[in-house]
Amino acid sequence: MSDKPAATAQARNSRLKLIALAVLVIAMTLTVAGSLWLVQKKARQLALPTLHSELWQAYQIHMEMDRLLLAAQDLLKGKMAPDDLVVRVQVLRSLTQPLEGQHLFDFLPESRPAAERTLEHVISLSRQWDEKAQWGDAVAARQVAAQATESLPALQKPMHEVMVATNISLANELDAERQHLYGYFTGLGWALLGLLIGVSLLVLRLVGNYREARGLSHNLIELNQHLEQRVTERTTELAEGQALLKQILDASPSDVVLTDSAGKQVYFVNQRLMQRLSLDKASDFSLNRLFCNAREALHFREALLARHRVDDWEGLLAGEQPYWGVLSGRLLEYRGGPAQLIWSYDISLRKGMEQELLVLATTDALTGLSNRHAFMQRATELLKTAERFDQPCTLLMLDIDHFKQINDSHGHQIGDEVLTALGELLKRELREVDIIGRLGGEEFAALLAQTDQIDAMQVAERLCASVEAMQLLGSSGAPLRVTLSIGLASRHPAEPLEGALGRADTALYKAKSAGRNRVVWATN
């Protein structure tokens, strides 16, 4: 707000300058035009010669009057021919004729009426005589001569006065003309001076303008250079930024791809992915090529479009060999339109480890059988199924007899061997559908699916026999005898696993008490 009055003042200032300039130019133009007009007017006047011959005319009349008088006197004396007088009369007439109207005395400061009258008289006399005197008319000539001799002598002195007056008038006229010209010249001089000043002002302005323009031009050039520099810097930055980005993306352990929302136009695919999918050029990429299963690709796309982001999507991806990958997706804007950014990361290793972990979590390391937790889970599942389809199911609790003794006598290594052997035996003897597990120490359990009491008994007894028949060596190298005690319990409808386990366990206790190496049914 504070520089508004300053701005208007500046604007007014520059406007004033402009007005002043315009006024100056107009004034100069008018001066030049006016001067030119005056000059050409005067030049036209001076183009043709003008001679002020008034004095000469007056003189001539004076002289001719004298000659006419002499001729008249000669004629009267008979010394001259009449026609010769006619010549003189006509000559006089030719001299007085132009003076009719009398402009000889226009420039006299004070009038001389006597001179005017004299001139008038002379003119009228010459006119009369000219009319009278004719060629070959002697009589008329004599008459004219008589008149002339009478009137001319008296006019000689007055005619001289006419000449004096004419001279003065002429001199004044000439001086008036001189003054007129002087006025012209001084006026022109002033005009030229004015023009000189005007031109100087204009030149100063021009110089000022030129300087300003040059300064501005300089500034402009500098600015330009600056700008160009900045642009170059920015471009370099951008290029570097882009190059860095590309480097990062290419160096990324993930596969990165950026496409338009339709998936048709591929903006960027990083090196890793291109190599993995063996793409010749980026535009060869498509989501279907990334996933092993086209259906999975479609699901992924739909999820991304619906939720605008996808994280931790595990899928089977295509490559030389199908591999597990985890994918993330984002919807973003690129080049003014919607685009999809998809990362995928190879998690085969992780997946492998997951599997390992699962195995580790669910299996007993020594025997490879399910551990307690896993057994419980699987057995519960089996029971549920048996419950649903109302199928018989028998639970076996198995225990190695005198295992502690074996461990103490033959060492833990032999003990482990026994456990391992039993595990293998169980796996061998029992079916795939049966669930086997090591519940702890020397305790094992097996849930036989779709097995009634009779069959279960047979299986249990066979197991006992097989275990007894195992040929194992003790620490000393002597054969080692291992026996098994088994407790059996059939599934009761709507009975939880713990219930069956408890019953089987009780049965096992009974078997142990009864002398080991035997099979005992649960009583209820």
Partner 1 sequence: MAKDSSMSPHRHFFVALFLILLYPLHVNAEPAPYPLDRPALTVYLADGQRLVFSLTQLQQMPLASIRLSTPEGLQQQWQGVRLRKLLELIPGAGNGRPLHTTALNHYSVLIPYEDIQRYDPLVAYQLDGRLMSIRDYGPLYLIYPFDDHPELRQQMFYNRSIWQLSEIHVE
Residues near partner 1 (CB under 8 A) are 48-54, 57, 60, 63-64, 67, 83, 87, 90-91, 93-95, 97-98, 101, 103, 106, 130, 134-136, 173
Closest CB to partner 1 among residues 89, 249: 89
Residue 53, C-beta contacts closer than 8 angstroms, at least 6 positions apart: none
- Minimum Å gap between C-beta 88 and partner 1 is 8
Closest CB to partner 1 among residues 57, 271: 57
Closest CB to partner 1 among residues 69, 464: 69
Residue 298, C-beta contacts closer than 8 angstroms, at least 6 positions apart: none
Closest CB to partner 1 among residues 173, 443: 173
CA distance 58 to 95: 9
Closest CB to partner 1 among residues 82, 329: 82
- Minimum Å gap between C-beta 72 and partner 1 is 16
266-269, strands of its sheet edge to edge: 266-269, 255-260, 337-346, 323-334, 309-317
Q: Which residues pair with 344 in a beta bridge?
A: 255, 327
- Minimum Å gap between C-beta 195 and partner 1 is 33
Closest CB to partner 1 among residues 121, 127: 127
Output 82-88 pairs: Cβ under 8 A, ≥24 positions apart: 82/136, 82/137, 82/138, 82/141, 82/142, 83/135, 83/136, 83/141, 85/133, 85/141, 85/144, 85/145, 86/133, 86/134, 86/135, 86/141, 88/64
Closest CB to partner 1 among residues 178, 218: 178
For residues 313 and 254, is the Cβ–Cβ distance under 8 A? no
**Cα dihedral across residues 417, 419, 422, 428: positive or negative:** negative
CA distance 343 to 89: 138
Closest CB to partner 1 among residues 170, 292: 170
In three-state secondary structure terms, 199 is helix
- Minimum Å gap between C-beta 12 and partner 1 is 58
- Minimum Å gap between C-beta 96 and partner 1 is 10
CA distance 45 to 49: 9
- Minimum Å gap between C-beta 173 and partner 1 is 7
**Cα dihedral across residues 302, 307, 313, 317: positive or negative:** positive
Three-state SS across 272-319?
HHHHHCCCCCHHHCCHHHHECCHHHHHHHHHHHHHHCEEEEEEEEECC
- Minimum Å gap between C-beta 59 and partner 1 is 11
Residue type, 451: T
Closest CB to partner 1 among residues 78, 136: 136
Closest CB to partner 1 among residues 131, 311: 131
Residue 448, C-beta contacts closer than 8 angstroms, at least 6 positions apart: 393, 394, 395, 396, 430, 431, 434, 455, 456, 459
Q: Please report which residue ranges of 332-402 form alpha helices under DSSP H.
A: 348-362, 372-389
Structure tokens at 153: 């002598």
- Minimum Å gap between C-beta 26 and partner 1 is 38
- Minimum Å gap between C-beta 158 and partner 1 is 21
Closest CB to partner 1 among residues 106, 452: 106
CA distance 256 to 245: 12
Q: Please report which residue ranges of 48-112 form alpha helices under DSSP H.
A: 54-77, 82-96
- Minimum Å gap between C-beta 193 and partner 1 is 32
For residues 456 and 443, is the Cβ–Cβ distance under 8 A? no
Closest CB to partner 1 among residues 135, 182: 135
- Minimum Å gap between C-beta 145 and partner 1 is 17
Residue with tokens 């029992």: 430
For residues 194 and 150, is the Cβ–Cβ distance under 8 A? no
- Minimum Å gap between C-beta 180 and partner 1 is 13
